[in-house]
């Protein structure tokens, strides 16, 4: 804690940054891009005469081309010839961008940049996002409005554990993507995908693809010692998704569902999936 915070001059914690980004967080994220990506530019492949920081033929050429083609959607013949001129252009964009464009850019680079630095970059980003009290964290490679490390771990563990059940993994990844879309979030269908992941897993575990979630939960209770209270709670959640806002029925024109609803359902369903897969593996 700094002197000014100990003396009560500055607050110990800043307000949660939701749909906003302050200078400290923007500066930190740019510094991480500099450390993990721009500074690994390979200059050794180029001529020792004159200026040598060409983009063509360098280890950064694939990422820069993807940025122009898929992020900026600009002609690639407008890419700067020299790498550090290109970084200056990216820096100007980054520091003038809206808060959501900053997150879009960071996420894009994490996904499309060199694989060897991705995991460490994401891990370090989450540390800085937490430090600056951002409402967003990387979860399964996507920036999502989830601030709890326990929630992140639950979701990523469930996606990893569902490798043997492709349908489950697909539903979870869809739920996360629909909830995390910063331009057009779809909370209704995110909730539907979350509960569908549980339903799909339970069908696999009881070996009956035609079973309803309620029937599958009853069999898991009888055959795998699923705790009655846990079965009852997920039966209730299934009932909620059958009734609330017509999630599993005809879509309504208006919706009062929020990101909190979608996040609660995703975290609850991933916790159940982790529990159920552990239960049957014992």
Which of 135, 164, 193 represents a domain boundary (last residue)? 135
* In a shared domain, residues 227 and 174: yes
pLDDT of residue 83: 95
* In a shared domain, residues 71 and 171: no
Average pLDDT value over all residues in the chain: 84
Neighbours of 34 (CB within 10 A): 12
Residue 1 lies in a domain: no
Q: How far apart are CA 52 and CA 50, in angstroms?
A: 6
Helix 259-281 and helix 187-206, axial crossing angle in degrees, nearest 10: 10
pLDDT of residue 3: 44
Q: How far apart are CA 243 and CA 238, in angstroms?
A: 9
* In a shared domain, residues 106 and 154: no
- pLDDT tens by residue, 180-190: 887 788 888 89
7 pLDDT band, cuts 50/70/90, is very low
Helix (H) or strand (E) holding 154: helix 149-161
* In a shared domain, residues 163 and 242: yes
Which of 135, 163, 188 represents a domain boundary (last residue)? 135
Residue 11 lies in a domain: no
Considering only residues 234 and 203, tell me which one the structure prediction assigns the higher pLDDT.
203
* In a shared domain, residues 120 and 170: no
Instruction: Give the predicted TM-score (pTM) of the model.
Output: 0.74
* In a shared domain, residues 271 and 153: yes
* In a shared domain, residues 155 and 105: no
* In a shared domain, residues 131 and 155: no
Selection from 9-23, 103-117, 191-205, 259-273 with the highest mean pLDDT: 103-117
Q: Please check the confidence at residue 250 and state whether its pLDDT lies above 50.
A: no
**In CATH, what number is assigned to the domain containing residue 156?**
1.20.120
Range of the domain at 85: 16-135
Beta bridge partners of 142: 139
pLDDT of residue 117: 96
* In a shared domain, residues 220 and 184: yes
260 pLDDT band, cuts 50/70/90, is confident
Q: How far apart are CA 172 and CA 69, in angstroms?
A: 29
Residue percentage of the chain with pLDDT more than 70: 84
Q: Please check the confidence at residue 156 and state whether its pLDDT lies above 50.
A: yes
Q: How far apart are CA 183 and CA 100, in angstroms?
A: 9
Residue 173 lies in a domain: yes
The total domain count for the chain is 2
49 pLDDT band, cuts 50/70/90, is low
């Amino acid at each position: 804690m700094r002197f000014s915070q100990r003396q009560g001059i500055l607050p110990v914690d800043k307000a949660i940054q939701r749909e906003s980004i302050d200078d400290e967080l923007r500066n930190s994220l740019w510094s991480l891009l500099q450390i993990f990506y721009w500074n690994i530019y390979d200059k050794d492949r180029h001529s020792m005469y004159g200026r040598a920081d060409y983009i063509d033929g360098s280890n950064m050429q694939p990422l820069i081309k993807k940025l122009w083609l898929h992020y900026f959607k600009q002609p690639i013949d407008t890419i700067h010839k020299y790498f550090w001129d290109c970084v200056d252009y990216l820096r100007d964009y980054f520091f003038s961008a809206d808060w959501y464009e900053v997150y879009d850019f960071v996420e894009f680079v994490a996904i499309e940049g060199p694989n060897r630095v991705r995991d460490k970059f994401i891990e370090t980003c989450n540390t800085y996002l937490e430090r600056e009290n951002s409402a967003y964290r990387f979860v399964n490679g996507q920036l999502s409005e989830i601030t709890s490390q326990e929630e992140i771990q639950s979701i990523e563990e469930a996606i990893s554990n569902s490798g043997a059940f492709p349908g489950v993994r697909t539903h979870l990844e869809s739920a996360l993507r629909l909830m995390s879309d910063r331009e057009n979030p779809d909370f209704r269908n995110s909730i539907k995908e979350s509960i569908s992941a549980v339903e799909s897993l339970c069908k696999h575990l009881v070996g009956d693809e035609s079973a309803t979630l309620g029937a599958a939960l009853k069999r898991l209770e009888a055959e795998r010692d699923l705790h009655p209270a846990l079965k009852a709670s997920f039966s209730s959640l299934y009932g909620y998704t059958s009734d609330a806002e017509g999630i599993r029925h005809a879509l309504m024109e208006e919706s009062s569902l929020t990101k909190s609803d979608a996040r609660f359902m995703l975290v609850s369903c991933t916790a159940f999936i982790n529990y159920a897969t552990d239960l049957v593996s014992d």
